Structures are given as C-alpha cells and as structure tokens.
Amino acid sequence: MKDPIDTAMMDPAALGGGGASIVPQRPQLETVGPSPLPAGTRLQEFDIRAVIGQGGFGIVYLARDLSLQRPVAIKEYMPAHLAGRDASATVRPLTAGQSQIFELGRRSFINEARMLARFKHPGLVEVLRFWEQNGTAYMAMPYYDGATLTEYLRRHPGVVTQEWLRTTIAPLLDALGHMHAEDCYHRDVAPDNILVLKDGSAVLLDLGAARRVIGDDAQAMTVMLKPGYAPIEQYSDDPRFRQGPWTDIYAIAAVLYFAITGRPPPASASRVMRDSVASLAQARPAGFGDAFLQAIDRGLSLQPDDRPRSIAEFRAALWADEAAARTPTKAASIEQPAMRDAPAPAGSRRAGSARGASLASLPLVAGAAVLAVAVAAGGWMSFSTSPSPGPAAPGPQTTAGTIAEVAQPGPLAQPGPATQPAPAATVPVATAPAQPALAEPAPATAASPPPAPAKATAAVAQPAIRQPSAAEPAQPPRPAAGNGTVRLAIKPWVEIRVAGVKRGVSPPLKELALPAGRHTIELRNPAAAPVTRTIEVQPGRPVTLQHQF
C-alpha cells in the first residue's frame, strides 16, 4: 500500500475531490480569513501535507510525523464564522466582541482532546497529543483510512444485514461502555461521526461539544444537535431530564434505524407534539429478527426512562435472539434484562418519579426544536472521495471539543406552587396576520412497544465530564417565594425570551415562573415578526399570555 503522504504529494486528487479543493492555497497577506495552513507548514514535529476536510468549526490536515515517520491527521480549531488567519498564520477572532465565544470553543476543543486521550479503545478515535499554537488549538490522531457510515452505505446499498450491523456496532458499543464507566458521554453519535475503515471495522469520531457551546453562546441557529439522532433530553435545560448512557443509546438506535430504513427517525423535538416514528418491530423488514427490531424501537423511546439504562442492557437486547438460539430453554430469562430498568452507573443516580416530569411540559432549548440543522462539512476522517450526503442524513462534522469549564445556562421556569392560585388575569397580545403553520410530521404508522417501568432523571449532565455523586432532590424545584406564574397559550409555537434571555419553546413549555415585577417578554416565530409584550407579575396571581401567529 502506498504511503498516503507520498500519494498526496504526487496526486492530491487521490485523497478525494479535485486537486484544487484538496491542496490548500496560501492565504492572502492583506486579509484575514479561515484559510487552511499551506503545505509545508511545520506544527511541532508534524509537517502539513494536504487538507483532508474543512467545515464550519475546523480544518483537518494530512500530516507527516517527522519523529516516527508515519502519516497522521491533525485537527485545527478554526470556527469560520468567528475567526480567521492573518499573514503570520495566527488565528484571531474576527471582532473583539467574538473573543469570549472563540475562547470558550478553544477550551472545549482542548478539554475534548484531553478526555479522548484518556481512552485507548479500537472503537474510539485516538488522540496522540494536543497543544496550543498560532492562537488556536490542535490535536494529532492516527491516519484512519475509510469513509463515514453515511458515505459507506451510499456506496454499498446492499450491505446492511442484521449480522453486518451487529459486527459494525459491536466495537462502538464497547467504546461507549468504556466511556460510560468513567461517567463520560459522547452525545454526538451519528452516521457522519462513525468511520468504516478499509478492513470493515468501525471507529467513533468526535464529540462536537465546541460546536454546541459556540452555537449556544452566540445565540445563533448554528448546529448544536443532529436532528433525528439527538434525544429529547438534549433539547432541554430542564434538570429533571438529565443525560446519561440512555442518551447515547438513543443515538445508536437512531443510527441502526437509519441503516435499515435509509432515513433518520423524526427529530425527537417534533415527536413531543406528534410521535410519528415508525415501529420497526411492526414493520418487520425482511432479514431482521423480532428481538433485534424491538431493541431498536426501545432504544428510540422518547421518554428517557423507557430506554435501556446501560450499554450492557442494550447489547443484551440486540443479541437476545442469538442467545435464545444457543439456549432455547432459557430464552425468556435471557431476553428479560432488556425489558426492565437496570441500576444506573456510578455518577448517574436518579431520584423521584420521571412521570411527574412529563414530556408535554418539557421546556426545549430555544429554537433547537424546530431550527436545528446540519453543518455541511467535509468528512474529517474520510480519506476517500468527498462524501455525498446520504438520504435525509445530516452532513458530517469536522471539529469538536468537550466543554468542561463553561457555566450551565440559567435555570428555566418550573411549575408554579401547588397552592390554589387566585383567578388568572389574561393579558391579550395583538394578533399578527395569520401565517401558515409549520408542517407537522405525519401520524405514526405503527405503535411503539410498551414502555418499561420508569425511574426519574434528576439533572442534566455536562458533556463528557464526571457526574455529581450527591443525591438529587426528590421533587423538582418550585418557584421561590415572591415569584409569580405566567401561563402560556400560544399557537402554533414560539420561542420565549424574557429580557432578551432564551427561556424555552412553547409548546411544550406551558408556564414561566418569574420574580414579581414588570417583565418584557418577546415571542419569536419565523413565520411572522417578533411580538413583544410587557407584563406585571404578582405572586399568587397567575397571568395568561395568549397569542396566535
């Protein structure tokens, strides 16, 4: 096999796409922009040879390790909408006002590299080293020769069988289980973050935390989540819906759904309103066992507590029919673990009842429920031809970082006091011209399997960091004394901002708890102009805010 470094130097097009799109050009000296480093640039002991992929949040290079004489991939933190490279190759924020956001993303990038460097597993991308240079950050990884799962399935449409899927995801499940044992969660599993290598094995790529942090802090509708693969708890700031192993399990189940059907499941945020995901167990696609399909359906459960509680439980469900075939007399007991809740791993204790925190009242991260879209970025670890997007699948991501030092968003309003409220006052809002409602997903074609007994979740997990071990309060926090309640009656949906701060999306958000006094509330829906209303909040006197776009 030819050395990819020599191949790149002789024929850049061999790495994918035309030579003009692969060989980086030297940046203009008089401008600042997200230009790649030119071939021949020296970074530590690495020599840059070519660009592998470039997207909205970073650039990946093919490089030569001059010490060990081997090819490597180097990922550079470069958020194109925030920063550019000057004539000295230094990466700088485009404006002074973007410096803080740029720095948040850079810290996230370094934190992810540090976390990944802790794990050595064939199913997880390996970080050889990481460092800061040129005003930005870098991580060096082995050269992986393969294609993203999206691209691989596009090239091999007949490859998907139950056995092939099991073989492909087995190392990924092992890698996730390895991470979960350390109370770390990937939270960005998707077909474009899975690389199928030339030998048929699969590797799980980046975490995407820097992308999420930048998108959230900039209050821009940048990609924070991958629709179809992100479970409902990732859309929410509600501490009752925390993240854990079940979060990655949903994403893996969605990847399996995509591989079997050719399309991702509906976005979980839209499923809150109308759950239109088709049950694979009822559709019964040819060549797949009932237990395997039922396991995927359960992994895709909208309610977090209806999913398997650990990777081991999910694996047992996916392989249940195989185990039953080996020991038919014990089939019932073998399948049983997949149908009941297992204890949560260390650092993921739960308290209370999740049924009290119904999905109907789940406040979503502002805008993400309807406006999350995929970043179109080159496959950052795929060294074959430039991938084309799969059917309805989001584009590949190119950089990521693990956030470990960024403060959580401010708490959202919780349901009002249990005491009997005084009669509600209604605050009318001027009705805007009627606009067509956003399209809702089609009704479900089949029912989902019965949910497993539920246990509550208690606190949203920080991405890829250790979970607090202290027990959480048994009941969700109620508004402090002196707070008042604002009830929301808005159609079809709206993003809520209070004093310019995002508070959620209604529906499903039904109430806000606000301190007594005067508040300015802004209602946003892309179908019409924003509506602003000033209301007076009083303890014990709920106020109803009504509007229809």
Taking only the tens place, the pLDDT of each residue in 264-275 is 999 998 998 889
H or E stretch at 245: helix 245-261
> What is the separation of C-alpha 69 from the centre of its chain, rounded to a whole number of angstroms?
36
363 — pLDDT class (breaks 50, 70, 90): low
The rounded percent of the chain whose pLDDT value lies above 90 is: 41
Query: Which amino acid, 21?
Result: S
19 — pLDDT class (breaks 50, 70, 90): very low
261 — pLDDT class (breaks 50, 70, 90): very high
**What pLDDT was estimated at residue 428?**
40
The rounded percent of the chain whose pLDDT value lies above 70 is: 61
> What does the alpha-carbon distance between residue 174 and residue 73 come to, in Å, rounded to a whole number?
24
**What pLDDT was estimated at residue 327?**
60
**Which carries the bigger pLDDT value, residue 528 or residue 131?**
131
Q: Structure tokens of 203?
A: 């590797």
Mean pLDDT across 66-82: 94
**Which carries the bigger pLDDT value, residue 337 or residue 38?**
38
**What pLDDT was estimated at residue 81?**
86
27 — pLDDT class (breaks 50, 70, 90): very low
526 — pLDDT class (breaks 50, 70, 90): low
Does residue 146 surpass a pLDDT of 90? yes
> What does the alpha-carbon distance between residue 528 and residue 434 come to, in Å, rounded to a whole number?
9
Does residue 174 surpass a pLDDT of 90? yes
**Which carries the bigger pLDDT value, residue 211 or residue 63?**
63
Phi, psi (deg, nearest 5) at residue 369 = -60, -35
Is the separation of the CB atoms in 371 and 221 below 8 Å? yes
Is the separation of the CB atoms in 310 and 245 below 8 Å? yes
H or E stretch at 330: none
SS3 412: coil
Q: For strand 483-491 and strand 511-515, is the pairing parallel, antiparallel, or unpaired?
A: antiparallel
Does residue 525 surpass a pLDDT of 60? yes
Domains and CATH numbers, the chain: 425-548 (2.60.40)
- pTM for the structure as a whole: 0.58
**Which carries the bigger pLDDT value, residue 449 or residue 373?**
449
Mean pLDDT across 485-506: 81
Is the separation of the CB atoms in 171 and 122 below 8 Å? yes
- Of 145-159, 182-196, 203-217, the range with the lowest mean pLDDT is 203-217
494 — pLDDT class (breaks 50, 70, 90): confident
Mean pLDDT across 310-331: 80
Instruction: Please give the mean pLDDT across all residues of the chain.
Output: 73
Mean pLDDT across 449-460: 41
Task: State the Rg of the chain over Cα.
Answer: 24
**Which carries the bigger pLDDT value, residue 519 or residue 481?**
519
